[in-house]
Structure 1
């Protein structure tokens, strides 16, 4: 990982995640690591940016086969938007990660 997370505040990480989303950069290992080390306990501070961060972390977790992290994000997103097409797409990505192509 090329990001030194010991010296980063939650707002630094939030800004980094925002930059990666805006530039369409997919640093899945870094996203999951920073999520677990810094952001997960600070989600109450995110406001309107909470949902894009959860989606970003979910996709990154699926990339890294960190299904427990993806499940936690999906649970939070599904509670907020139970019928959302975006959430259904994330759930389909999870099924793909599980190699359940017929579900």
Structure 2
């Protein structure tokens, strides 16, 4: 039984000061089955939730977001982050290219 949306959705492979290597879960995860059937991808709201969970902050708002490449089951991605003036800029990097960039207002 899955306890939360992110339960078994990803695994942290390694972590450094400003980046975390993450492997996304299998296509059989309920999130991928629901979004979208036959063409699974990681929803944007879960990119925010996973970043907050891994980095240990609460999100007050999103001041900017841009999604360029889909994040798919079993993808190996790097979550890069930098903090500035009460905001955290998060980049999801896949195969050396930025897949998404989100600037979050945090608590």
In the superposition, the TM-score normalised over structure 2's length comes to: 0.31
Q: Whose RCO is larger (CA < 8 A, sep 6+)?
A: 2
Q: Which structure shows the higher helix fraction?
A: 1
Q: Which structure shows the higher strand fraction?
A: 2
In the superposition, the TM-score normalised over structure 1's length comes to: 0.32
